Structure 1
Amino acid sequence: MVQRILVSVFALLVSSLAHGQAPQSSPSISYTRDIQPIFTEKCVACHACNDAACQLKLESPEGAVRGATKVPVYQGERGQAVPPTRLFYDAQNEEQWRRKGFYSVLDNQGSQAALMARMLELGHKTPLTPNAKVPDEIVLGLNRTNMCPLPEEFDGYAGAHPKEGMPLAVTGLTDDEYHTLRRWLAAGAPVEYQPIKPSAAEARQINEWEELLNRPGSTEALVGRWLYEHLFLAHIYFVGGEQGHFFQWVRSRTPSGKPVDIIATRRPNDPPGTDFFYRLIPVQGVIVHKTHITYPMGPQKLKRVKQLFYAGDWHASALPGYGPRHRANPFETFEAIPAVARYQFMLDNAEYFVRTFIRGPVCRGQIATDVIRDNFWALFQEPAQDRYITDAKYRSQATPLLAMPGQNDDVGSVLNLWHAYRDKRNAYEKLRRDAYAEMPAPGWATLWAGNDNALLSIYRHFDSASVTKGLIGDVPLTMWLFDYPLLERTYYQLAVNFDVFGNVSHQLQTRLYFDLIRNGAEVNFLRLMPADQRGKILGSWYQNSGKVKMWLDYEDIDSDTPSAIKLDPRDPERDFGLKLLQRTGSLNAAPDPINRCTGAYCSRPQMSEEFRNAEQSLSRLVSRPAAGLKVIGQLPEATMLRIEGVNGQRQIYSLLRNRAHSNVAFLLGEAYRYEPGLDTLTLYPGVLSSYPNFIFNIPTQDVPEFVEDMEYAKDDPAKFERIVMRWGVRRSHPQFWYYFHDLNSFIKETQPVEAGVLDMNRYENL
């Protein structure tokens, strides 16, 4: 550090003298004031999250100083797990990161400028043609292989890729931004660290929560561990806290009141190796939307936790270990804690828990998302109707069957492990089927309706997905019904036990078991359908090759015991969805007149006439199959419409493409199971993706023409090109960054707690 400061001072001195100025006349550059805002504006959209190019993360000075590496986080075929490289966790200073293989992008290389400076120069001297397509030779998106050149390899990189400087394939830095960064880099790239610190009100609440989780005694320690394992991913915000302040739970070698010394295990339930304490620390750096999974805490939440976990007459006689067996089966590990307390805690904030495994934060999730439909609704079973909660004998029979794979990552054992866990899971499904057949017929009371987390909408965007409260869009093809064993297993399999740095065996086992989880959620829902129609409905979900999967890997369904819900036999699924909407109006956080227009007015009544008319026109695009709206075939998964009013106001809408599949039961060959003629669009106010694929900016008076042109374009690329040219915001658009960041501005205005910089790694070259 001293050497860096001396270099910085010397470089400033030389620079000043070279320009004939006294050193003190050159204004100093502040990293916090001058540099991080440029990174946030032009770089973080690609250099954040686990899939940051070359693992160069620019949300904070710590990330900039850490630098880059050639080792990708996502490498699904690797035979050996790689050491984790989580910023702020797995190393604490520049020297430690160098030992882990990271190289500087900020240091000058003798007579050569810093690697970042040369990358920026390459980008600045090869600007894109305004609002034209990016040249085809520049590979973008998930198909891109990042070169990550070392400083000494840069000349070869620039010769082979002369148009691939930074920022990559997007409207670049302004002249002022470019020169500011160049001056900073020439001065040795000095940084100052200004970590976020809790306010007094936050500090008081932190002390209360840390005291609760660190209480002595076996019973208290078991609850603390369960709570930690369920909240370790959360960006926690406090009632009465500072806007923009978020905190996360860690295990520390030091108690409350002392500086945190993080125990950086791969998973939150790995052995800590020493005595430890649960601590809350501030989330540092720029908030990134993809990893920003929020969770509220305050006095009422504290009271609720004490009521759920500490008020009952139960005790833990001993503490479980941290070995593979205890990781594989949290039902056995935490069986001393009343199951009703565990389930109710998860239900209270069900959106948070579903977000942890559907939305992220792994940042590149096709290993999970290709096993789910492009849109479906999620419902939850009422605890009083959950046999695992209410029947101790059933619970003791079920618990040994609920273990999950992924703890043994021996590549040669994948098939044997898969078969063993598949058979165990199917034995559980048989036990559940038979036990529930003895219960009263399921009805509307089977569904939990405790708060607005009770109804969730999931939208998949190829390799990412979003979760939103309420029932959005037209009635979907499938729905999931979570009971406690299913919700807990999904969370542990995809959040707690998943290792993004793991090898192919671990990731394959995770993906295969999630296929069984999805099937379990569908089967739970099927019990609400008429018994004599369940087989037909299931067959519609598993067409063609899906029938083979049903025969090979899934347990038979209950097609005998009745449902107490009376449904139209012509289309019971749709009738169920419509009745659900009618019965849950007070819980439904997402009234949706645009996609579910039942009368003459297909717009939100609270909007101004200008935007009501725009929504009325846009509603013509939704809930229509692509066979009748062929332009759907040219749209990406998540398009953002920015509708601009005459007085400067604007509204943001997500236009989501719902790809239809004959089934989603296999790991490979997804493209062969597409049914493009059945694709539909959902249009919903707000930003329903962390990864916008494209933006259209449309004045309200142009909306009818935009809709007409979309209908007229059909599957003609030339006609669609004219739409993009007129209203599209291409990567090369002169105001690209204004429109891109305005999406987050809209989130700040409408859902300020959820705001975070969006990711442009999937922004398409339309």
Structure 2
Amino acid sequence: MSLRCWLACLLFLTTVAGAEPLSYPRDIQPIFTAKCVACHACYDSPCQLNLGSAEGALRGGHKLPVYNGTRTRAQEPTRLFLDAEDEAAWRRKGFHSVLDAQGSQAALMARMLELGRSQPLTPNARLPAGLDIGIGRENSCPRPDEFDGYARKNAHAGMPFAVTGLSDEEYARLQRWLEQGAPVERQALQPSVAEAAQITEWERLLNTPGARGKLVGRWLYEHLFIAHLYFEDVAGGHFYQLVRSRTPSGEPVDVIATRRPNDDPGTRFHYRLRPIPDVIVHKTHITYPLSPAKLARTKALFFGGDWRVDAVPGYGAGHRANPFMTFQAIPAAARYQFMLDNAEYFVRTFIRGPVCRGQIATDVIRDNFWVFFQDPQHDLYVTDQRFREQTTPLLAMPGQLDDLGELLGFWNIYRTKRNRYEQLRMQAYATEPAQWRHIWAGNDNALLTIFRQHDSASVRRGLIGEIPQTLWWMDYPLLERTYYQLVVNFDVFGNVSHQGQTRLYFDLIRNGAELNFLRLLPAASRQAILDGWYEKSGQLKLLLAYTAIDSATPSLLELGRADPKQAFARQLLSRHADINAAPDPLNRCPGSHCYRADQPPELQRAEQALSRLTNRLAAGLPAIRSLPEATLLRVEHGDGQRQIYSLLRNRAHSNVAFMYGESLRWQPRLDTLTVYPGILSSYPNFIFDLPAAEVPAFVAALEQVKEGGDVEPIVERWGVRRSHPRFWDYFNDLTRYLEETEPREAGVLDMNRYENL
């Protein structure tokens, strides 16, 4: 340790010697939140060390990673706040302490911090060659007695890892706390009076007695268990999670842990809302609003009609596989409308999701596309009882059994069912030519944009960016199956067979959404457009795995013959401008003024320059190939103000129809860039910081890039590398920006994917 550091520590310890003892929530958690949670949160925390709460710090680390796409047997779940109740229980599950001193040895965390302190990074320089910072790296996860060997082999692997470290004061405070024995006080969150009153009303609804109430409560639980619930009319309130508890309302929650939310709880239970106690991180923060109006809406949807339940269904693989069968007694119109009311939430659950690392799902989708929905009054599964009864048995989904030897067998069984369903669906809709009124436009959730960044993705309300290559038109069976396949039934701790079945079936769902969209276009144009989405090896998949397209039933939309997809998108934007996001002049410039008119002049000039980066292929703008997938541009203007823009690289592929070999189908010369105000990814790959007046120079420099090395001067001038002295100031300002612009959606961003440019 340097003399400067020792003097700082001594000064700090002398200053606080007579002060009150350190408080974990006041003095320690804020350091973890500012400097550690960006990596140590969710399932992809290195060594499963989650520092978003006192419980996570006490739990410690584990050698087994959660993400393992090749394991042959399912792994025991280790979900914080769910799968164990106290430190002793976590030790029995194989977790080791990072806080306890080991005889004469300091705590593991103290030694990790010391190692990081002993190897400071060169300010704003690239990281040392050979230092692996990729999310696919193999973490050693040393136990306390293994640390010395770890330190000898990994001199640059101290904490915080591969990034500017703690301040002198933060380091001294953490070391003092660890020397004191790392005392941790747990503070239970308490609902406000206004929240408590609404909690009572929602728990009463969810636990409505009788067969009808039990079935509705179960359906609502399976659709809200992943949500961060909040009361939208309560300012500054908490976020809540819906759980199954052994105890009724009014008593402390005693949560029942099952592998999936639709597994048998094994005992009598009650649906309860409990506060979310850990730090909110953006990647798992999937919000859902509750209010008296929402309560009344839910009651009207599910209890307003005259329907009955003959018998409450049980649990098991068959019920998990086919929720359409399990919940068939509940009117399909109620189920679909409930999902449409907050469609952004449901799409977020399976696109952004809490799994933190989702290439098992994201490698089957394009890097950017638009999603919209079929109107319930024109969805035959909702309106036609005979069609519903005929097709419900065919909507079962794989993944409930994880026998390795039956992976392909399961795939063939469920592919056959799905394709038979698609054939029946095509026949049924042959008498229902598509019309504009068949597109749902009930609220501002009706139009969504998805951006993918390799193994993560984000959802945004409204149609953003240039008109994409593909669009999805989702009906109720498509939306519900996607939700169950990727959220309710997906087990992040599952084996390779379970994950493979999930991925393969989602491929069929994507194809179904594409085929449904094509019904809106002229019949004669559909096959050529579909072939463009499934180029090269994709043609084999079209031939062997999917159903034939309907090339006969006409569309009643007047789109012309030249480019019907572009014509459709332009009309969609025009017809639904009242529920769409704000105009997007940076990516869809209406003329010569490619900026937002409501911005100050200096930002207008900056946006005019940034618009030059959009609607261009990487073949003509090589800088795109040198940029990571999610770059954030921090533009300072006015008196201490800043605007943040997302620069998202959209990778082009010949097709996205296969589980492996994505790099072989990547067409980098066709990549494009979307530029949009705001933060559109939970995982920033890099930050540039510059004054608004320098944005034109920044853009001009990017336009001059011919090859990868040409980006170096741009990074040197405006880049914020992991080693930047003010890295954490800039990185944490992203959260502050979200708190100012989207307070309900704000959370700590993830830096596991921050690149070494």
CA distance, structure 2, for counterparts of residue 635 and residue 485 of structure 1: 38
**C-alpha displacement of 1:27:** 4.0
Worse-matched range after superposition: 393-402 or 134-143: 134-143
- Three-state SS of the structure 1 residue aligned to 2:135 is helix
1:585-596 maps to which residues of 2 (within 5 A)? 585-596=577-588
1:102-501 maps to which residues of 2 (within 5 A)? 102-243=95-236, 245-439=238-432, 441-501=433-493
Structure 2 residue aligned with 1:612 = 604
- Three-state SS of the structure 2 residue aligned to 1:597 is coil
Normalized against structure 1, the TM-score is what?
0.96
Which of 513, 536, 545 is equivalent to 1:544?
536
Letter in 2 for 1:729: V
Structure 2 residue aligned with 1:674 = 666
CA distance, structure 2, for counterparts of residue 201 and residue 567 of structure 1: 52
Pick closer, same or farther for the CA change 1:652–1:24 going to 2, 3 Å: closer
1:533-682 maps to which residues of 2 (within 5 A)? 533-682=525-674
- Three-state SS of the structure 2 residue aligned to 1:141 is coil
Worse-matched range after superposition: 739-748 or 154-163: 739-748
CA distance, structure 2, for counterparts of residue 242 and residue 23 of structure 1: 36
- Is 1:729 the counterpart of 2:720? The answer is yes
Structure 1 residue aligned with 2:689 = 697
**C-alpha displacement of 1:510:** 0.2
Identity fraction in percent: 65
CA distance, structure 1, for counterparts of residue 529 and residue 597 of structure 2: 36
Pick closer, same or farther for the CA change 1:378–1:148 going to 2, 3 Å: same
Cα distance per residue 1:654-695 (max 9 Å; x no partner): 000000000000000000001111110001111000000000
Which of 725, 729, 736 is equivalent to 1:738?
729
**Quick check: 1:369–1:460 contact (8 Å CA) kept in 2?**
yes
1:496-515 maps to which residues of 2 (within 5 A)? 496-515=488-507
Q: Which runs of 5+ in 2 are unaligned?
A: 1-8
Normalized against structure 2, the TM-score is what?
0.98
Cα distance per residue 1:624-668 (max 9 Å; x no partner): 111111110001110000011142111001000000000000000
Letter in 2 for 1:306: K
Aligned residues: 748
CA distance, structure 1, for counterparts of residue 221 and residue 129 of structure 2: 47
CA distance, structure 1, for counterparts of residue 749 and residue 648 of structure 2: 16
- Three-state SS of the structure 1 residue aligned to 2:72 is coil
Letter in 1 for 2:211: S
**C-alpha displacement of 1:234:** 0.5
CA distance, structure 1, for counterparts of residue 446 and residue 19 of structure 2: 59
Pick closer, same or farther for the CA change 1:212–1:109 going to 2, 3 Å: same
Letter in 2 for 1:753: R
Cα distance per residue 1:65-104 (max 9 Å; x no partner): 0000001000110011111111000001000000000000
Structure 1 residue aligned with 2:756 = 765
**C-alpha displacement of 1:25:** 2.5
CA distance, structure 2, for counterparts of residue 49 and residue 59 of structure 1: 9
Cα distance per residue 1:235-290 (max 9 Å; x no partner): 01103324251001000011001111100001110000000000000011110100
CA distance, structure 2, for counterparts of residue 207 and residue 646 of structure 1: 47
**Quick check: 1:199–1:242 contact (8 Å CA) kept in 2?**
no
**C-alpha displacement of 1:21:** 8.9
Letter in 2 for 1:584: H
CA distance, structure 2, for counterparts of residue 601 and residue 239 of structure 1: 37
**Quick check: 1:51–1:363 contact (8 Å CA) kept in 2?**
yes
**C-alpha displacement of 1:362:** 0.3
Letter in 1 for 2:503: R
Letter in 2 for 1:756: G
1:94-109 maps to which residues of 2 (within 5 A)? 94-109=87-102
**C-alpha displacement of 1:22:** 13
CA distance, structure 1, for counterparts of residue 560 and residue 531 of structure 2: 19
CA distance, structure 1, for counterparts of residue 625 and residue 600 of structure 2: 32
Letter in 2 for 1:480: W
CA distance, structure 2, for counterparts of residue 122 and residue 169 of structure 1: 12
Structure 2 residue aligned with 1:51 = 44
**C-alpha displacement of 1:571:** 1.1
Cα distance per residue 1:202-235 (max 9 Å; x no partner): 0000000000010110011100000000000000
CA distance, structure 2, for counterparts of residue 545 and residue 23 of structure 1: 67
Letter in 1 for 2:33: T
Pick closer, same or farther for the CA change 1:21–1:674 going to 2, 3 Å: closer
Letter in 1 for 2:717: R
**C-alpha displacement of 1:590:** 3.6
Letter in 1 for 2:221: Y
Pick closer, same or farther for the CA change 1:391–1:153 going to 2, 3 Å: same
Structure 1 residue aligned with 2:743 = 752
CA distance, structure 2, for counterparts of residue 23 and residue 573 of structure 1: 68
Letter in 1 for 2:719: G
Letter in 2 for 1:673: R
Letter in 2 for 1:320: P
CA distance, structure 2, for counterparts of residue 753 and residue 22 of structure 1: 39
Structure 1 residue aligned with 2:699 = 707
- Three-state SS of the structure 2 residue aligned to 1:236 is strand
**Quick check: 1:201–1:240 contact (8 Å CA) kept in 2?**
no
Cα distance per residue 1:509-559 (max 9 Å; x no partner): 000000000000000000001101100000000000000011110011100
Which of 84, 87, 93 is equivalent to 2:80?
87
**C-alpha displacement of 1:719:** 1.9
Cα distance per residue 1:414-469 (max 9 Å; x no partner): 01000000000000000000110022x10111100000000000000100000000
Structure 2 residue aligned with 1:3 = none
**Quick check: 1:238–1:298 contact (8 Å CA) kept in 2?**
yes
Which of 706, 711, 717 is equivalent to 1:720?
711
CA distance, structure 2, for counterparts of residue 478 and residue 437 of structure 1: 23
CA distance, structure 2, for counterparts of residue 150 and residue 21 of structure 1: 32
- Moved runs in structure 1, 4+ residues, more than 3 A? 19-24
**C-alpha displacement of 1:23:** 11
Letter in 1 for 2:181: G
**Quick check: 2:195–2:237 contact (8 Å CA) kept in 1?**
no
Structure 1 residue aligned with 2:5 = none
Letter in 1 for 2:343: A
Which of 513, 519, 525 is equivalent to 1:527?
519
Letter in 2 for 1:305: T
Pick closer, same or farther for the CA change 1:24–1:124 going to 2, 3 Å: closer
Cα distance per residue 1:478-497 (max 9 Å; x no partner): 00010000000000000000
